[in-house]
Chain A
């Protein structure tokens, strides 16, 4: 969603890019032959993992977008704990009715033992740091790509948090 923080620059971008798959768009299947995919968030469950592989297969460039995708960030704060313990806290200790851990894995995804940065699952081409990356940073990267260059972030953009 921090993508939308580019504000009016989105309008400029509208003529230059085609958004083919995104939570803010309605196509439900990840298409083939994609130029660039920005992936936000750590890989934390079985569906994220499958999706990551599909994205890699169908995209020419994959960008890890934000600190969660690049390092695991806050998502990985759960890693020192056992999945069971974390779930027990939420669904048993802090629930009042039907205390149980959700497990209908046909409709919901199963958690991985730990949350991982994207590059531990698939090959990543470009990293965009920040929690979230700033609009200027995204704008810079997108423009470099549109010029046909792999973005090399200036030092000012190389910060976490």
Chain B
């Protein structure tokens, strides 16, 4: 039934089960299974996450001050978001308000994190599907294939990500897992020369995001027939907005809307999150299933991240991104909500534009160069919660400490997990649409579309299952001639 060696059926579980393993071009280890009936029509499809590390237990006994450093190792892709969120939980425990410069620097770091992570998702991971084609040869359908097909475009994307990484590196002294943000503020101020160095990147970055948006609009036309089947359903949408309803990333209050643009709840203090959101467990995935408590499980399905944020905010404070947001909204028909998960990519590009514009604004703000950057205090509360918008959605760190600042209990609610119900529904929808018993053959390209449904959410699974550490990454290098290692052995 399935051709090629890319997908195996798992005979053990059901006579008709397709297993896609591993799901590729995402961060982390996962599988998809598709269960068929006797006519080869889809009964069910599931997204299984295979990672578990148990972060919430083994941070017991660590010091609060270590938490930003430890938790940033949850994820190699958005370490800065964990760093900032952990530091915010620390601010809460110290009961301090951090200096203005420190807040602005943390904002800068958060946006740099958005930019590099979004660029990675769009250029390195997802665009091989769009630019090479869902049905193109799987052997080259990756970033190296993209380099071969369009070197200039790929290089642009690589450099855009580099810009984000460079800000992180300049601020924190290194690219990944920087220990620069701490409870109470940040460790080092920003020097003038380094500020200027970052500013030189802005024109190129803005132009590259423009190119990404142009490319994406062509993709929208090219796949106009398929897009309506890519995770198109209504769910709740959850995220932070600023005090007056703007797109927010570092602070603000939670807003919940439904797929018809009704506001279900607004101005929720992030510290009260656990009153509103619960987590369920399924035996077939290590990733839990968060839901909105008043609607119960699984009806309380919600989505977070770019699609939710751009949908629920009333405006974006930077001009180019705001203009693009209005075009985005026009895709929604008469409900004023873009419900289709395929448009995560579009929302992500709009957020990249916002990030570039806002980074420029922050850098030009004289306060960014201030020297007062850290509030010193000791443990003043035994419980603290930090919340920011990570690239993939709203992120919470919740710690209990004793009077010496030793962690007694930690709970993390991570963006990717909050999309778990929606990701499952998406694979089911795509599989049901494209796999049709009467039409016969299930091609590799069809199964790749099911995976592409997952890529819309840009899940980061090592992070969401609190996988301190990583899935094994098997990057493999083959020398062009294959002779390299023979030489080595000689």
Chain B interface size, under 10 / 10 to 19 / 20 to 34 / 35 or more = 35 or more
Kindly identify which residue among B77, B144, B448 contacts A19, using a CB–CB cutoff of 8 Å: B144
Kindly identify which residue among B54, B284, B474, B482 contacts A39, using a CB–CB cutoff of 8 Å: B474
Are B13 and A107 within 8 A (Cβ)? Answer: yes
User: Taking the nearest CB of chain B, how far is it from the CB of A11, in angstroms?
Assistant: 6
Measured between beta carbons, the chain B residues less than 8 angstroms from A38 are 473-477
**Number of residues in A with C-beta < 8 Å to the partner?**
94
User: Which positions 1-45 of chain B face chain A at CB distance < 8 Å?
Assistant: 5-8, 10, 12-13, 19-22, 24-29, 31, 33
Does A152 sit within 8 A of B, measured CB to CB? no
User: Which positions 40-82 of chain A face chain B at CB distance < 8 Å?
Assistant: 40-45, 47-48, 51-52, 55, 59-61, 65-66, 68-69, 73-78, 80-81
Are B469 and A115 within 8 A (Cβ)? Answer: yes
Residue of A nearest to B32 (CB): A107
Are B282 and A23 within 8 A (Cβ)? Answer: no
Are B158 and A8 within 8 A (Cβ)? Answer: yes
User: Taking the nearest CB of chain B, how far is it from the CB of A86, in angstroms?
Assistant: 3
Are A146 and B484 within 8 A (Cβ)? Answer: yes
User: Taking the nearest CB of chain B, how far is it from the CB of A35, in angstroms?
Assistant: 5
User: Taking the nearest CB of chain B, how far is it from the CB of A15, in angstroms?
Assistant: 7
User: Taking the nearest CB of chain A, how far is it from the CB of B217, in angstroms?
Assistant: 25
Kindly identify which residue among A28, A36, A74 contacts B24, using a CB–CB cutoff of 8 Å: A28
Binding-face segment, B243-251, B273-281, B304-312, B426-434: B273-281
Measured between beta carbons, the chain A residues less than 8 angstroms from B19 are 107
Does B325 sit within 8 A of A, measured CB to CB? no
Are B280 and A96 within 8 A (Cβ)? Answer: yes
Q: With A11-B151, A24-B124, A27-B138 known to touch, is A51 a contact of B56 (CB < 8 Å)?
A: no
Are A74 and B469 within 8 A (Cβ)? Answer: yes
Binding-face segment, B184-192, B286-294, B366-374: B286-294
Are B33 and A107 within 8 A (Cβ)? Answer: yes
Does B345 sit within 8 A of A, measured CB to CB? no
Residue of B nearest to A10 (CB): B158
Does A158 sit within 8 A of B, measured CB to CB? no
Does A154 sit within 8 A of B, measured CB to CB? no
User: Which positions 139-170 of chain B face chain A at CB distance < 8 Å?
Assistant: 139, 141-144, 147-148, 151, 154-155, 158-159, 161-162, 165
Does A37 sit within 8 A of B, measured CB to CB? yes
Kindly identify which residue among B8, B143, B284 contacts A104, using a CB–CB cutoff of 8 Å: B284
Are B138 and A26 within 8 A (Cβ)? Answer: yes
User: Which positions 101-117 of chain A face chain B at CB distance < 8 Å?
Assistant: 101-104, 106-109, 111, 115
Does B318 sit within 8 A of A, measured CB to CB? no
Q: With A5-B165, A35-B482, A90-B54 known to touch, is A68 a contact of B284 (CB < 8 Å)?
A: no
Residue of A nearest to B162 (CB): A7
Are B467 and A75 within 8 A (Cβ)? Answer: yes
Does A156 sit within 8 A of B, measured CB to CB? no
Does B99 sit within 8 A of A, measured CB to CB? no
User: Taking the nearest CB of chain B, how far is it from the CB of A124, in angstroms?
Assistant: 13
Are A109 and B50 within 8 A (Cβ)? Answer: yes
Instruction: Give the complex CA separation of A23 and B237 in angstroms.
Output: 29
Are A17 and B477 within 8 A (Cβ)? Answer: yes
Does B343 sit within 8 A of A, measured CB to CB? no
Fill in one digit per residue for A21-35: 1 if any B CB lies within 8 Å of its CB, else 0: 111111111110011
Measured between beta carbons, the chain A residues less than 8 angstroms from B58 are 77-78, 80-81, 86
Chain B interface (Cβ within 8 Å of chain A)?
A: 5-8, 10, 12-13, 19-22, 24-29, 31, 33, 46, 48-50, 52-54, 56-58, 70, 73, 76-77, 120, 124-125, 138-139, 141-144, 147-148, 151, 154-155, 158-159, 161-162, 165, 174-177, 278-286, 288, 291, 293, 297, 411, 448, 466-480, 482-485, 487-489
A-B contact pairs, 8 of them (CB 8 A): A4-B143, A19-B475, A29-B6, A44-B469, A60-B488, A75-B470, A90-B56, A107-B13
**8 interchain residue pairs of minimum CB distance:** A75-B469, A86-B54, A96-B278, A148-B487, A40-B473, A41-B470, A97-B280, A18-B478
Chain A interface (Cβ within 8 Å of chain B)?
A: 1-5, 7-8, 10-11, 14-31, 34-45, 47-48, 51-52, 55, 59-61, 65-66, 68-69, 73-78, 80-81, 83, 85-87, 89-91, 94-104, 106-109, 111, 115, 131-132, 134-135, 142, 145-146, 148-150, 161
